[in-house]
Structure 1
Amino acid sequence: MFGWTLHGNGRDVAPGKVVAPGERLNWPATIAIGVQHVVAMFGATFLVPTLTGFPVPTTLLFSGIGTILFLIITGNRLPSYLGSSFAFIAPITAATASGAIGSALAGIVAVGVLLAIVGVVVQVAGLKWVDALMPPVVAGAIVALIGFNLAPTAWSNFEADPIAATITLAATILFAVLFKGFLGRISIFLGVIVGYVYSAATGAFGVPNAVTGLTPAEAISQAAWIGLPEFHVPDFAAPGTWSTLAMFLPVVLVLVAENVGHVRGVATMTSSDVNRYTGRALIADGLATGLAGAGGGSGTTTYGENIGVMAATRVYSTAVYWVAGFAAILLAFSPKVGAVFNSIPPGVLGGVTTALYGLIGIIGIKIWVDNRVDFSRPVNQYTAAVSLVVGIAGFTMHIEAFEFGGIVLGTVAALVIYHVGNFVARLRGSGADDGGPIPAVGQIGGDPEN
């Protein structure tokens, strides 16, 4: 598993070549690129626990552990970093608003188990059934409605401090437009830094927390440099937990799309042999997500930010991901790091999430564009139109003790309208839409061009 061969002279990537998963550069270069991967994933990974109230160090810990687990399960032949998935933000936010963190963690564990089961099926039966269930028009609708469903959350934070939010949003957009390559990919992270500095300069850190009574500056100064992360356990017996689980199930479809897209992207740049690890990738991400939920971390997924780093460096060596995984684990044992992230003001979060949630929606729309979805067909029109309105408006449905939110209902609407509509069309002899294979959508929350 660890028999990497040295690429070329070990210092540089040969012209016109890439460093394959089974190769590596010399260890100083490998370590440097591994640390760069940590920086690339950091901006998006810390935002998920920050937005949902989860402990940041715990999420980082399970992110690093999940990455190592992923490498082991895929036989050390599929380079990937498992960071926090933005697809979990909406159901976690809804679950924690109506109950304790235990209910949200139960949902994350359920998603992990189901994703691992999907991986086993894919490993045995192949990907054709996934392509048939979730063609581009459906996949795009599901991804888009998950992002747009979060719009009210962005506004509630934005109005807490409109000036800080506007400065953060403007900085994020400017960094994305002005910089290319790596700096452009971490524009969200840089925008948060700008907003954070503005808030600190205008006295936001002198306001005591309503619960702890400490100002952010005091909380940071009192936090230890080294300490254990904060762990929580899922609570399947809590009131409302089982209705909460329904909100998490659509996330499985997003994670399938992201993992399949990641494998295909790596295969395009390295070797088509990588595609045979698709089932293992789904199993690995499912186990990593379930493990994270069992200990208090957020669910994981393959990261588009790190795909960008690989594309820029042409280094697809799995060795750098071992470095990145262990670096994330080390960072997790610093309570001071968590205190810094927890001190980010709501206005700053409102500014960055206004862009971030919109980007999630745009990724869904990009799926339609890239796959040339034919919207002259009524079945495609209604699949997208109805599901988006249901998700954006936040439709809800109560069936006894169960409550189904906009993401669940929007996902069901997309699947039912598309498949029933095409079935009726075939009965009438009018033909059906050729959905095509599931697209390589890239990581939600990352660069939409990935």
Structure 2
Amino acid sequence: MAKAVLDINDRPSNGKWLTLSLQHMFAMFGSTILVPQLVGLSPAIALLTSGIATIVFILVTQFKVPAYLGSSFAFIIPIQVATKAGGIGSAMIGSLFVALVYAIVSLVIWKTGYKWIMKILPPVVVGPVIMVIGLALAPTAVQMASTIDVDGTNTYSFLHFSAALVTLATAVICIIFFRGIISLMPVLIGIVAGYIYSAAIGIIDFSPVREAAWFQVPEFLLPGVDYSFHITPTMLLVMVPIAIVTISEHIGHQLVLGRIVDRNFIKEPGLNRSLLGDGLGTLISGLVGGPPKTTYGENIGVLALTRVFSIHVIFGAAIFAILFSFLGKLMALIATIPQAVLGGISILLFGIIASSGLRMLVEHGIDFDNQRNLVIASVILVTGIGGAAIQISETFKIEGMALAAILGVLLNQVLPGKPTGKEAGDTE
């Protein structure tokens, strides 16, 4: 294993600190602001809460885990469904209950250890559920990339689709033909290229940027002020089961990060602490109108590339994110990004999410000659992508990804035979 340039507790010089922290901020920037754009939340709040959540995570994990928290893609569809059913406040309240699940799981792990959760969420369940996240979003990405709203009707536009193709092509080129930091920021670079192209073909209205103030407080969404605190079964059933996916994602990130920096973060500071930090980040975000949080693979990639593991650098990136969220003109500029550009980058991102689920199955050697594995994966994929639902009354409905995750967990428990060794996701 290559030697660290800066280890976790090492402090860089001021000049390097500035550069390295900005690098981390830009690595997560594109994905973090994309999620709120897709679900109708404020990009400024998403940026602000990502910085705050990261600082909270660092404090809870005792300055031992160099991870950055950004907006979670797993909650895009659940937020859209919850918002349609009960307004944006419903999605925000759902986020608070997701955070509560994190806290409960963290407490149980603290008291009993972590191995039980690996038995509930083996790769044969988690892999297909992650694939559902990406594949269920595919129609949304294509529609955003190729259509515009004309009198309330989605109408195909080749002009806008060309902007999506430029965005997608740029991101792909960054990943395939470049190395170093450029290959770690394909989302941001793709959006910038798509934006420049969109400006050149005249599909951007810059008036909001001219009218915006240089300094502007983000638009908060506060419970009891901007929406009523009203809990519904549908909201809980749409949002809360997704914690199964994000907790699994969190565990995977901790294992990968541990291999990179040569630490066992599952044991020290402990999975209970890192999950609690993630949950508190989601709680704070939901309280002020931001999307749920998750540790970011983009920033883990930056750590692997630079071999700079300093927690001070991650902390600096969080501070920059907080400061950038108050730059009114920058946030107004982000708001003018055409839907086609976001659709173009979403085609790649949602595909990568689906592919990462497939990769998990391959890496853990899931044997699909085993009928048990085949049944579990098949049921998860079809119910999740097909949007299957269980509806008992107008207020009780569980569907899509949430239903798929629950069915996967149940099938894994009741079907004869249990995964062992690598198929069970052993961390030892």
Q: 1:186-201, aligned counterparts within 5 Å?
A: 186-201=185-200
- SS of the equivalent of 2:250 reads helix
1:355 paired to 2:348: yes
What SS class does the counterpart of residue 301 from structure 1 fall into?
strand
Whole-Å Cα distance in 2 between the matches of residues 432 and 284 of structure 1?
A: 31
- Seen in structure 2, the aligned counterparts of structure 1 residues 17 and 353 have a Cα distance that, compared at 3 Å, is closer
Distance in 1, matches of 2:85 and 2:164, equals: 26
8 Å CA contact 1:131–1:437 kept in 2: the answer is yes
Report whether the alignment pairs 1:64 with 2:58: no
Q: How far apart, in 1, do the equivalents of 2:145 and 2:4 lie?
A: 46
Q: Offset at 1:254?
A: 2.3
Between 346-355 and 60-69, the greater mean CA deviation after superposition: 346-355
Match for 1:367: what amino acid? Answer: M
Once residues 78 and 313 of structure 1 are traced to their aligned partners in structure 2, the CA distance between those partners, rounded to angstroms, is: 16
1:394 matched residue in structure 2: 387
Q: Does 1:329 align with 2:328?
A: no
Match of 1:225 among 208, 211, 214: 214
3-state secondary structure, aligned to 1:204: coil
* Matching of residues 240-279 of structure 1 within 5 Å: 241-275=232-266, 276-277=268-269, 278-279=271-272
- Separation of aligned partners in 2, 1:398 and 1:240: 17
> What is the rounded CA distance, in whole Å, between the counterparts of 2:239 and 2:60 in structure 1?
25
Quick one: which amino acid aligns to residue 213 of structure 2?
A
CA distance in 2, matches of 1:220, 1:383: 50
Looking at structure 1, the residues matched to 175 and 84 of structure 2 have their Cα atoms a distance apart, in angstroms, of 32
> Residue 239 and residue 109 in structure 1: after superposition, are their counterparts in 2 closer, same or farther (change >3 A)?
closer
Q: Residue by residue, what CA displacement relative to the aligned partner does 1:28-73 show, whole Å, maximum 9, x if unpaired?
A: 2222211111111111111111111110111111111111111111
Number of residue pairs matched by the alignment: 409
Whichever residue aligns with residue 228 of structure 1, its letter is V
Whether the 8 Å CA contact 1:85–1:299 is kept in 2: the answer is: yes
Q: Distance in 2 between matches of 1:188 and 1:39?
A: 10
Relative to the length of structure 1, the TM-score reads 0.86
Match of 1:419 among 401, 413, 416: 413
Q: Secondary structure at the match of 1:272?
A: coil
Q: How does 1:64-143 map to 2 (within 5 A)?
A: 64-143=51-130
Alignment of 1:436-447 (within 5 A): 436-437=424-425
Q: Is the 8 A contact 1:57 1:337 kept in 2?
A: no
User: Are residues 329 and 242 of structure 1, via their aligned partners in 2, closer, same or farther at CA, if it must alter by over 3 Å?
Assistant: same
Q: Which amino acid aligns with 1:365?
A: L
Equivalent of 2:359 in 366, 373, 393: 366
CA contact (8 A) 1:18 1:270 kept: no
| 2:399 match | 405
Pick the aligned partner of 1:47 from 21, 27, 34: 34
TM-score (norm. length: structure 2): 0.90
CA separation in 2, counterparts of 1:358 and 1:96? 24
Aligned partner of 1:165 in structure 2 is 164
CA-based RMSD of the aligned residues comes to: 2.1
Deviation at 1:127, TM superposition (A): 1.1
User: Are the aligned partners of 1:261 and 1:439 in contact in 2 as well (CA < 8 Å)?
Assistant: no
Amino acid at match of 1:181: G
| Long gaps (5+) in structure 1 | 1-14, 206-215, 426-430, 441-450
SS at structure 1 position matched to 2:142: helix
- Verify the 8 A CA contact 2:93 2:229 in the aligned structure 1: no
| Shift in Å, 1:136 | 0.6
Structure 1 moving runs of 4+ over 6 Å: none
User: Distance between the aligned counterparts of 2:91 and 2:333, measured in 1?
Assistant: 24
3-state DSSP of counterpart to 1:23 = coil
Q: Deviations over 1:68-99 (max 9, x none)?
A: 11111111111111111111111112222333
Q: Cα 1:438–1:49, aligned 2, differ >3 Å: closer, same or farther?
A: farther
2:302 to 309, 313, 325: 309
Distance 1:27 1:201 in 2: 39
Runs of 5+ unmatched residues, structure 2: 148-159
Rate the CA distance shift 1:376–1:100 in 2: closer, same or farther, 3 A: same
Structure 2: distance between partners of 1:439 and 1:246: 30
Structure 2 letter corresponding to 1:322: F
Alignment-derived partner of residue 26 in structure 1: 13
Q: Which amino acid aligns with 1:392?
A: I
Superposed CA offset, 1:289-324 (max 9, x none): 011001001111111111111111111111111111
Correspondent of 1:344 among 337, 345, 348: 337
**Which range is displaced more, 22-31 or 88-97?**
22-31
Shift of 1:274: 3.3
Q: Distance in 2 between matches of 1:21 and 1:46?
A: 27
* C-alpha distance in 2 between matches for 1:73 and 1:87: 23
Q: How far 1:234 sits from its partner (Å)?
A: 4.2
| Partner SS for 2:181 | helix
Instruction: Kindly indicate whether the alpha-carbon contact (under 8 Å) linking 2:212 and 2:332 is maintained by their aligned counterparts in 1.
Output: yes
Equivalent residue number for residue 212 of structure 1: none
Matches within 5 A, 1:266-305: 266-275=257-266, 276-277=268-269, 278-305=271-298
Residues 97-120 of structure 1 show CA distances to partners (whole Å, capped at 9, x for unaligned) of 333211111111111111122112
Match of residue 382, structure 1, among 345, 370, 375: 375
Instruction: Tell me the distance in 2 between the aligned counterparts of 1:285 and 1:438.
Output: 22
